[in-house]
Structure 1
Amino acid sequence: MLDAGVLLAFIPLAIAVIVSPGPDSIYTLTRSVSDGRSAGVMAALGSSAGSIVHTTGAVLGLSAVLQTSAVAFTVVKFVGAAYLVYLGIQTFRKPDEFEISPESTSYTPTESFQSALLINVLNPKVAVFFLAFLPQFVQPGSSVTLQIFTFGVLFASLGFVYQAVLAVFSARARHVISERDLVQTLLRTASGSVLIGFGLKLALEERTAP
């Protein structure tokens, strides 16, 4: 059983991290505006599923490997960065896939889930974050593994709630802007630029010494 004081310390910090703009929230926003509420909510679910993967990795020690192995970290970092850049370039290359109208879709909910999951899982900084962040709240006297996993699930759940709300509200906006070509172009340019920017930032980010 988690101590109430620990939860009161964990939840505000977790929310502060979750609401900070990042690849996950940007992708959820992109999919919900472009493809509707279902695609956006599934993207949010994919991001949360990725958090569970990282939590499991932290429990099993995989995150520790990424933190101590320069080769492993670099490989995963560049794969994740390349995928983000690819998504951004595709946004520019295929404007029809970002057409915003109530009837048009370019990503199915399943595809949105899969892409969001990959964006999250292929970001090694998230893995290292989970390794560094979750153990801060572990209390002596009970299973460390259970506590870390519980905190990870709670973090993922909070993240899903935030991104799902973001998806619902941004999906409503697509009906308002569906007839405004300039707004669609600006959104597509902003989304593609941000995805590429996050990818380049991830690729250029130096590994922190353990």
Structure 2
Amino acid sequence: MSIAFLLTTLVVVITPGTGVVYTLAAGLSHGRRASVVAAFGCTLGIVPHLAATITGLSALLHTSAAAYATVKYLGVGYLLFMAWSMLRDKEALTVEREGGPRPALRVIGSGVLINVLNPKLTMFFVAFLPQFVPAGKPGSLGLMLQLSAVFMVLTFAVFVAYGMFAVAVRGHVLSRPRVMTGIRRVFAFGFVALGVRLAMA
């Protein structure tokens, strides 16, 4: 495993995207447990992309404009739905002193969907991993799985760090409803902006 792989992976993971926004929102609104569960859900959402890369399904997305567009616009639609839900449902981002735990499966499910409906992640695996996996040599599959596992571990660790940051500052907004309203709008705008960026990719 090369330093170049670790550094590139770290840059990709640290760069804020849909998963980061979702984990921050979970940590800010429902505390430490929700942020960790959200980070786990987003990390779990990487598995289908890895499976698609290994089985060759990603080649379909890579060569078929229709298939890529279908997945892409499903992702755009889901991001816009997340933005609309956050604006419509004031409880979607409400800080509660007692933690207000949400059902873990619901948090994980949303995190998985956010990453599953992101075809750019599959494109990342197609364009990025092969550079570090010798083609046609014994053990190539094992090395790809190993590198993918490292990518997932770093993703989870970085997302948890983002979540812990949100948890650390949530106390400052407990008694500031107007601040929470502003933050909810910022997150909603963030989902819209990410959706627009994905649509124009």
1:105 is paired with a residue of what secondary structure? Answer: coil
State TM-score, norm by structure 1: 0.90
Cα distance between partner residues in 2 of 1:40 and 1:192: 18
Whether the aligned pair in 2 keeps the contact of 1:39 and 1:113 (CA below 8 Å) is: no
CA pair 204-105 structure 1, distance change in 2 beyond 3 A: farther
- Shifted more, 159-168 versus 135-144: the winner is 135-144
Whether the aligned pair in 1 keeps the contact of 2:34 and 2:101 (CA below 8 Å) is: no
CA pair 106-38 structure 1, distance change in 2 beyond 3 A: closer
Partner of 1:192: 188
Whether the aligned pair in 2 keeps the contact of 1:51 and 1:152 (CA below 8 Å) is: no
Identity of aligned residues (%): 32
State TM-score, norm by structure 2: 0.93
- Shifted more, 82-91 versus 98-107: the winner is 98-107
Per-residue CA distance 1:67-116 (angstroms, 9 max, x = gap): 10111111111111100110011101112331112236374332111101
- Shifted more, 85-94 versus 95-104: the winner is 95-104
2:37 to 30, 42, 54: 42
Matched, 1:151 2:147: yes
Partner of 2:94: 99
Cα distance between partner residues in 2 of 1:195 and 1:117: 15
Partner of 2:66: 71
- Size of the aligned set, in residue pairs, is 200
- Shifted more, 117-126 versus 102-111: the winner is 102-111
Matched, 1:58 2:64: no
- Shifted more, 128-137 versus 51-60: the winner is 51-60
Whether the aligned pair in 1 keeps the contact of 2:26 and 2:34 (CA below 8 Å) is: yes
1:103 is paired with a residue of what secondary structure? Answer: coil
Cα distance between partner residues in 2 of 1:96 and 1:53: 30
Q: Which runs of 5+ in 2 are unaligned?
A: none
